Chain A
């Protein structure tokens, strides 16, 4: 029954990643169950900086200086991702199951939000500066994809521990029901945009699709769709005390209802002004005729139908080497995600025991939605069964927000009984 709680934390922490596992779980080996609360958010990009995020999220005027700072980092292909998760958990060891030992189960409730995006430099420039500065130039707005999903998750899972004198292995499986709250998904394969030098006409050669969950719903807890996902974890400790972990998280989908607007776009569209007959009567209808809805109608076919959204699935591999027992551990890992505009991320972290009940965890990573990031976290055994873990994978986001592109915090608190 050893280290069930350790396994649970790994399964529960979708985006906190493996290095945030409970280092002090062995100290509470004798406890039969535990409850916990966890929360995290993470934002990162290889181009957008923290100052930019702050204004987008908290509000404020984005100046040309702000845009220029982002512009310095823009590449032909840019990434952006956000994860916000929180939840509560419960786990319990089971003495025997069918006369076998080493089993446990866990239950958790989570609220999850995820946004990811891939966009071109031209897309950013047009959105932020407008098309006038680029009149006469062909702009590539294609290779754009973005998706947002908000859902609630009810998870149940079991764990199995196999322990011998020289080795230790754990694995587990979690199954979840997902309540799809809100989603949009868009993928624009091609979007060549041109503004004639004097504004005589605009052309847009575009192909892509856009789907959105039922627009009449979307508040917390409302159901626009339903889905399922599975999580898997495998962890082993070798004779030399080094550890290897592999996990798969969020392997599943959400099926959204038939009331979902879906747009298919494949159009070579030239707009050289709305043709008007009654010029000498200026009414709303003239302006409304070139509204967003009208343009969408012109370039797309659309209707309402159901669709499935594949969750961003995370694969984690890491290896921990014990440099000095109860003093220093080094972990190297690889994380990748599919369906999420995510680049494989490698990371290196150290667990440095300040004392037996307090561990400081510095971290370096490269990839994911961002580039090179540094983090700092800690875990502490607070006594009376409380274990607290908190930290940031992008500590630079709080030190130099205009220069850094990522930020995030995580927090978990467990109580062992």
Chain B
């Protein structure tokens, strides 16, 4: 039997050796030439500009609608609520008291005045803020302390808190500190008798702790309370805000032309409405001393010329119930202003100098001024630009986020071209280049070799008659493919020129541009 076993084992080993040939680590691979469309899309003006910016006219022509709020009234200039500390002291006036545990030392209700910086407020609703207590006790026994503000309520419940203040050791005061969030509290500032302003009612009860010992209280055994309101932001106030003047000279962003980096544009017509909104329950008078458009790229500026500049603008107060803001409009066009030139400056900044006088006629509301702090006074420019224009080397720059995961497949592209077929239905020609940006935002390569998208042909009325096909070529090799996959942003630079400059061409809602990307590539296949 041993002979049989040896023979079987020998045969098994032999068979195993014969059949155990393994493949090499190098996989079979070969190159193929692929030709395939990748993606397609059709772009209309809404794809090229934000939907919110475009409106269609009755004749299907389009207009650009844009609103820029360049001025906001600062609530601090109307209603400043500074950090405030109020001190209160409690002691017996003379003699001494043998206070047993549970003995009530003080029970006091009074009004506390709040500094309101010239305003006479009768209501103040708190959006956010903190109330901090510092209590110092010279009583040589623990005292129970209850503090409440009956005129500060939240959901109908008055602010109140209780604590036990440590005993003094005869040398050092017993000290308690604590902070409370007062967001959402409504303060009635008319005092406990509702006949004053800027005052809130407080109530204090102090007694010997029931678990303590009897102690003798003298006038020297005082209790001091320091009440600090800090970082108070009101959400609403009512009263008389006083006669105030605010003057602001500042600069704000104007981002309608943000992507434009060079070139010139001619607008056939434009209308800009200056809108002043008064959301505060006060009368106001505004003076727009200047309004200037700045193009920081070309360092050019154009100041508004219109009869509104420097003239007083009276804005009525808002109504509280129902809440209704007050508006003032001034429509500017080429006939009454230089607003067209101001916009053709392609501004990215607006500078302004505005004075606003609050309650110029005094307390005519009898203490019924009001303010919701999120509804103030602002000034904006509502721009309507018909898309009828000419462009000369109008250069737009935008960046495109790229998020392509490193994949082994892309490493197998040997070479090829991507062809972007552009069937242009707009009466503009465009020169396009795509730049790869590194992590520092610097250009380190470009993609296109042919860059011109030809304009669609137009008829005598400058209306597009058909589309025009152009092909943009992106040559690829291994290095370029690696770069595309590694990049996180691509900068798109487009230089536009309208046909028939300087005649204005209109953009209609049915104008479209069809794009299709076709890949023609040599690819190394390695089956897995």
Q: Known contacts A271-B37, A273-B516, A284-B403; is A128 also within 8 Å of B24 by CB? A: no
Contact assessment for A130 and B35 in the assembled complex, using a CB-CB cutoff below 8 Å? yes
Q: Name the interface residues of B32-52: CB closer than 8 Å to any CB of A.
A: 32-41, 43, 47
Contact assessment for B490 and A282 in the assembled complex, using a CB-CB cutoff below 8 Å? yes
* Candidates B19, B31, B400; contact of A280 at CB < 8 Å: B400
A-B contacts at CB below 8 angstroms, number: 147
Q: How far is the CB of B413 from the nearest CB of chain A, in Å?
A: 12
CA distance A200 to B37 in the complex (A): 6
Contact assessment for A417 and B4 in the assembled complex, using a CB-CB cutoff below 8 Å? yes
Q: Name the interface residues of B1-50: CB closer than 8 Å to any CB of A.
A: 3-4, 7-8, 11-12, 14-15, 18-19, 23-41, 43, 47
Max chain A C-beta neighbours (<10 A), residue from B29, B40, B43 = B40
Max chain B C-beta neighbours (<10 A), residue from A55, A199, A276, A284 = A199
Tell yes or no: B401 within 8 A of A by CB.
yes
Contact assessment for A39 and B15 in the assembled complex, using a CB-CB cutoff below 8 Å? yes
CB-CB under 8 A from B34, the residues of chain A are 130-132
CB-CB under 8 A from B39, the residues of chain A are 273-276, 279, 286, 290
The 8 A CB mask of A398-417 against B (1 = contact, 0 = none) is 00000000000001010101
The 8 A CB mask of B409-442 against A (1 = contact, 0 = none) is 0000000000101000000000000000000000
Contact assessment for B41 and A132 in the assembled complex, using a CB-CB cutoff below 8 Å? no
Which stretch, A59-67, A340-348, A361-369, touches the partner chain B? A59-67
Contact assessment for A67 and B40 in the assembled complex, using a CB-CB cutoff below 8 Å? no
* Candidates B14, B28, B403, B404; contact of A57 at CB < 8 Å: B28
* Candidates B19, B31, B520; contact of A199 at CB < 8 Å: B520
CA distance A137 to B30 in the complex (A): 22
Closest chain B residue, CB of each to CB of A36 = B11
* Candidates A38, A67, A135, A280; contact of B30 at CB < 8 Å: A67
Contact assessment for B29 and A62 in the assembled complex, using a CB-CB cutoff below 8 Å? yes
Contact assessment for B36 and A61 in the assembled complex, using a CB-CB cutoff below 8 Å? no
Q: How far is the CB of B421 from the nearest CB of chain A, in Å?
A: 8
Contact assessment for B19 and A129 in the assembled complex, using a CB-CB cutoff below 8 Å? no
Closest chain A residue, CB of each to CB of B24 = A59
CA distance A274 to B515 in the complex (A): 11
Tell yes or no: B398 within 8 A of A by CB.
yes
Tell yes or no: A37 within 8 A of B by CB.
yes
The 8 A CB mask of B511-528 against A (1 = contact, 0 = none) is 000011111101100000
Tell yes or no: B405 within 8 A of A by CB.
yes
Q: Name the interface residues of A328-370: CB closer than 8 Å to any CB of B.
A: none
Chain A count of residues within 8 A CB distance of the other chain? 57
Tell yes or no: B134 within 8 A of A by CB.
no
CA distance A131 to B516 in the complex (A): 19
Contact assessment for A59 and B18 in the assembled complex, using a CB-CB cutoff below 8 Å? no
CB-CB under 8 A from B33, the residues of chain A are 129-133
* Candidates B8, B26, B35, B523; contact of A60 at CB < 8 Å: B26
Contact assessment for B19 and A39 in the assembled complex, using a CB-CB cutoff below 8 Å? yes
Contact assessment for A202 and B36 in the assembled complex, using a CB-CB cutoff below 8 Å? yes
Contact assessment for A88 and B15 in the assembled complex, using a CB-CB cutoff below 8 Å? yes
Q: How far is the CB of B99 from the nearest CB of chain A, in Å?
A: 76
Tell yes or no: B364 within 8 A of A by CB.
no
Tell yes or no: A272 within 8 A of B by CB.
yes
Q: Known contacts A35-B8, A130-B523, A279-B43; is A86 also within 8 Å of B35 by CB? A: no
Tell yes or no: B309 within 8 A of A by CB.
no
* Candidates A60, A86, A281; contact of B18 at CB < 8 Å: A86
Tell yes or no: B220 within 8 A of A by CB.
no
Q: Name the interface residues of B481-524: CB closer than 8 Å to any CB of A.
A: 490, 492, 515-520, 522-523
Q: Known contacts A36-B11, A37-B12, A273-B40; is A62 also within 8 Å of B30 by CB? A: yes
Contact assessment for B516 and A130 in the assembled complex, using a CB-CB cutoff below 8 Å? no
CA distance A411 to B11 in the complex (A): 11
Tell yes or no: A99 within 8 A of B by CB.
no
CB-CB under 8 A from A240, the residues of chain B are none
Tell yes or no: A98 within 8 A of B by CB.
no
Q: Beyond A59-B26, A131-B34, list 19 extra A-B contacts (CB 8 Å).
A: A41-B19, A58-B26, A58-B28, A60-B28, A62-B30, A64-B31, A67-B30, A87-B15, A128-B30, A129-B33, A130-B32, A199-B36, A199-B518, A276-B39, A282-B404, A283-B404, A284-B403, A284-B405, A287-B404
A interface vs B, CB < 8 Å?
A: 35-39, 41, 55-64, 66-67, 84, 86-88, 111, 127-133, 135, 195, 198-202, 271-277, 279-284, 286-287, 290, 411, 413, 415, 417
| 30 pairs, CB–CB < 8 Å, chain A vs chain B | A35-B8, A35-B11, A55-B28, A58-B23, A59-B23, A59-B27, A60-B29, A61-B30, A62-B28, A84-B19, A86-B18, A86-B19, A88-B12, A130-B32, A131-B34, A132-B34, A132-B520, A199-B36, A199-B37, A200-B37, A272-B37, A279-B41, A279-B47, A280-B400, A281-B400, A282-B401, A282-B403, A286-B39, A413-B11, A415-B11
A-B pairs, 9 with minimum CB distance: A130-B32, A273-B40, A59-B26, A273-B37, A37-B15, A132-B33, A37-B11, A62-B30, A132-B35
B interface vs A, CB < 8 Å?
A: 3-4, 7-8, 11-12, 14-15, 18-19, 23-41, 43, 47, 398, 400-405, 419, 421, 490, 492, 515-520, 522-523
